[in-house]
Chains A and B, each alone.
Chain A
Amino acid sequence: MSNAQDKNHIDHYRRKLLGGSAALAGAAALGPGVFFTSVARAKPDAEPASSEVRWGFLIDTNKCADNCDKCVTACNDEFNLTGFGRPETDAQWIRTVTLRDKKTGHTTKLPLMCQHCAHPPCVDVCPTGASFKRPDGIVLVDKHTCIGCRYCMIACPYKARSFVHETIENQKEYGPRGKGTVESCTLCVHRVDKGEIPACAEACPEKAILFGNMNDANSEIAQRMASTTSTEIRGDLRLDLGVRYQGI
C-alpha cells in the first residue's frame, strides 16, 4: 500500500504542476486581465479536496419568497429524505425559518442548513472523530465511525443535524444514510466534487442561494461578499461560517 501511496503523491504533484501550467495557458489564451471563471471547477476524481478552496453559500433573504420551500423539497428529493409522519424526529437537512421583529412586526424568511463552520463545535465534541471537516470547509459525518451518541446535535447552535431513527431503504447511490447515525447537509459534496452546484441553490427560482468558492477573489460569491453587507447567524460565537446571509 505504501508504494501505491507514494506513487499517488508523485502523481498528485505532477498533476498540480500540469494543472498549473494548463491554467496559465488558459489565462493567456483569453487575454490579459480576462479570466474564465466557473462557479465550481470540476475536480479530477483522483485529486483530493484542497484547503485553498472554501465552499460556501451567500443567501439573499430579500429574494426569499413567503410561500416557497423549493430548496427544502429539492434537498429532500436529492437524498430521498422521506418522512415517517413524525416531524420532531424526521430527518431535516434544510428548513425555512421565519424571523419576526417584535417591535416593527417585520418578518424575514430564510433557509437554514448546516453552516459549515471553520471551527465546528460538532467536530470538537465528537468522541470518535466521525464528525469532521474536509480541507475545503465542508463539514461531514463519517457514518462508518459514528456511534450515534448525538453529542454533535446538542453542540450545534443551528440545530442543523438529524438522527436517523428508522431503517432506511432506497438510499441514493451518492447519499448513504443509515439507522443509528447522525446526518446533516453535506453541501451536496457529491455534486460539488463534479463541479456542479448544490441541489438547493439549483432549485431556488429567485437565485437567492449563491454557491461558490469564498477564497477565490474572482468568484461571484467573494465579489458580492466584498461589495454588499452580509452577516453570519450568531456571529458572536465566532465560528467563521461558510454560510452568510444578506438582509437580516
Chain B
Amino acid sequence: MKDKRSTRQGYWFAAIVFALFSFEVAAGVPVPDIPKAVKGEQCVEEIGFMRRNHMELLLHQRDDTLHKGIRTKKHSLKNCFTCHIVTDADNQPVTVKDPRHFCRGCHDYAAVQIDCFQCHTSVPGDRKTTEARP
C-alpha cells in the first residue's frame, strides 16, 4: 500500500516537472518559423525525410555535379532557396546574412553552422556587382 502511494507521488512529480519544462521550452526558445515554399505544394522529398537527410542529398548532388557534370536541379542547393525564397520590404530576396533566410531558420535554432554560403550565393538569380573592378 505504501509502495503504491509513493509510486503515485512519483508520477505526480514527473508530471509537474514535465509541465514545468515544457512551459520553459514554450516560453524560452521559439520554434523556428520556416518560410513556406513560394512555388509548389510539395517538397522534392517527403518533409520528414528532408528534415533529417537534406544534407546527404546535397552532398551527393554536389559531387555528382562538380565531378561528373550531372546538373539535375531536384536536389540542388539552389533549389532549396529558390522555392523557399524570402523577400524583404523592397521585394528583394534576403541573403543568408538575414536571420529570415530559409536555411538560417532551422540552422540558427539547432546551432548548426552552414558553410555552403562561404562560397555559394544564397539567393536565386544574379545580383548586380556592387563594386567595380579597379
Residues of A within 8 A of B (CB): 1, 43, 45-49, 76, 80-83, 85, 132, 134-136, 140, 142-144, 168-173, 176-179, 181, 189, 193
Contact = CB atoms under 8 A, between A and B. Distances in A.
B124 to A, nearest CB: 7
Secondary structure dominating the interface of A: loop
B51 to A, nearest CB: 18
B67 A45 contact: no
Interface stretch (B2-10, B36-44, B69-77): B69-77
Interface residues of B, number: 27
B60 interface: yes
A80 B131 CA distance: 10
Contacts of A193: 69, 71
Contacts of A178: 118-119
B127 A132 contact: no
A173 B124 contact: yes
A181 to B, nearest CB: 7
B52 interface: no
A134 B120 contact: no
A178 B120 CA distance: 8
Given A76-B133, A83-B134, A136 B69 contact: yes
A133 B64 CA distance: 14
Contacts of B126: 172-173
Nearest to A179: B118
A1 B56 CA distance: 10
The listed residue with most A CB atoms (<10 A of its CB), out of B130, B132, B134, is B134
B116 to A, nearest CB: 9
Contact of B68 (A48, A85, A181): A48
18 contacts: A43-B69, A46-B70, A46-B72, A82-B133, A83-B133, A134-B67, A134-B69, A135-B68, A144-B62, A168-B119, A169-B130, A170-B129, A173-B121, A173-B124, A176-B121, A179-B118, A189-B69, A193-B69
B72 A172 contact: no
A23 B68 CA distance: 23
The listed residue with most A CB atoms (<10 A of its CB), out of B68, B130, B132, B133, is B133
Secondary structure dominating the interface of B: loop
B118 to A, nearest CB: 5
B110 interface: no
Interface of B: 56, 60, 62, 64, 66-73, 78, 118-121, 124-127, 129-134
Contacts of B68: 48-49, 134-135
A169 B129 CA distance: 9
B69 A173 contact: no
Contact of A171 (B67, B69, B71, B119): B119
Nearest to A133: B67
A128 to B, nearest CB: 14
A82 B56 CA distance: 33
B32 to A, nearest CB: 25
A189 B126 CA distance: 17
Nearest to A50: B69
B54 to A, nearest CB: 14
A-B pairs, 9 with minimum CB distance: A178-B119, A49-B69, A48-B68, A176-B119, A45-B71, A176-B120, A178-B118, A171-B121, A45-B72
Contacts of B133: 76, 81-83
Nearest to A84: B134
Contacts of A172: 121, 126
A11 to B, nearest CB: 11
Given A46-B70, A48-B70, A189-B69, A82 B131 contact: yes
